[in-house]
Amino acid sequence: MTPKIGWSLTPINLGKVEYLPTYEAMQSFTATRTAHTSDELWLCEHPAVYTQGLAGKPEHIYNPGQIPVVQTNRGGQVTYHGPGQVVAYPLMDLKRAGYFIKEYVYRIEEAVIRTLLHFGVTGHRVAGAPGIYIRLKDPAGHALLEQRPKQLGSDPDAQRIGSDPNCAAVPNFTGLGKIAALGIKVSRNCTYHGLALNVAMDLEPYSRINPCGYAGLQTVDLSTIGVHIGWAEAADILGQRLAAQLEP
C-alpha cells in the first residue's frame, strides 16, 4: 500500500515519567483526537509499577510489596514496568492507517524482532502468547520455534487454543525467556497502551507475579544475555523500527 501523503510517526522521548499520569494522558489524547490529529509515538521509562489488564486476576500478583498496582483498560493480564525498560506507546488511527488490529499487533511484534536483530538477538513469537521471546541458551540462534504461530490448515497436528484459529499449540515456555510484553487498547479505531522491551533491569519484581498470567514464565532482559547497551540507544532503535513497521 502506498503511504498516505503527510503521514509520519516521529518518536517523542518523554524520558522517565510516572505511569499513572502517562496512562491518563494517553486516554485524554485518544478521547479528544479528531480525524485530523497526527499520530504520535511516545517512548518512556517508568518507575517500578505493576499494571493489571482487563483480563487480570488478583491471584497473579502474590507479593507486590511496596510496588504500586495500577488497574488499566488495556488487554492482557499483569506485567511489570521499571527502570531499564523501554516502553513504547503508539497512538495511531488505524482506520487512517488502513489496517486492522491483528496486523497492528503483528507489526509491533515485528518492530521488536527487528530491534533485537539489530543487537544480534533473535526474537520469536509463540502461538497463543503475545509478546516476544528468546531462547535462553541460544539467543542469537535463528532456528524457528516449533510452536510459532501458524494457520491450523498448515499443520494436521495443530491444536486450537480457545477460539483463536491461529494458535497452533499450547504455549510451552521451557528454555524461553520473555523479553518484550505487549498490551493494547483500541477506542474509536485509535490505539493506545503499547509494548515494553526489557533492556537492563532489576528483574526481581517479576518473581512476585505470574507475568502475563503464566506461572513460572521466565522474564529476561538484554543485559542478562550479554547485550550491554544504554536505554537511550535501545529507545532510539526501537522508535525507528516502530515508525518503519507501522507505516501505512
pLDDT of residue 7: 66
The answer, yes or no, to whether residue 2 has pLDDT greater than 70, is no
Q: Is the pLDDT of residue 157 over 60?
A: no
| Percent of all residues in the chain with a pLDDT value above 90, rounded to a whole number | 81
On whether residue 149 sits in a domain, the answer given is no
The domain of 240 spans 11-144+176-245
Residue 84 has pLDDT above 60, yes or no: yes
Q: Using an 8 Å Cβ cutoff, are 35 and 192 in contact?
A: no
For residue 33, the model assigns a pLDDT of 96
* Structure-block grid coordinates of residue 68: 504500586
215 band by pLDDT with thresholds 50, 70 and 90: confident
Task: Pick the more confident residue, 245 or 215.
Answer: 245
Give residues with Cβ within 8 angstroms of 156, minimum separation 6.
Answer: none
Classify residue 83 by its DSSP letter: T
- Residue 211 in any domain: the answer is yes
Total residues found in the chain within this entry? 248
How is residue 54 written as a grid cell?
482487563
pLDDT value for 17: 98
Residues 6+ apart with CB under 8 A from 230: none
pLDDT beyond 50 at 10: yes
**Cβ atoms 179, 220 nearer than 8 A:** yes
Highest mean pLDDT among 125-129, 158-162, 194-198: 194-198
For range 176-198, the mean pLDDT: 97
Q: Is residue 164 part of a domain?
A: no
Average pLDDT score over the chain = 90
Based on the residue annotation, tell me whether 44 is a catalytic residue of this protein. Answer: no
Residue 67 lies in a domain: yes
pTM: 0.90
Residue at 84 is within a domain? yes
pLDDT value, residue 8? 80
CATH number at residue 203: 3.30.930.10
What is the structure's pLDDT at 43?
98
4 located within any domain? no
Q: How many independent structural domains does the chain possess?
A: 1
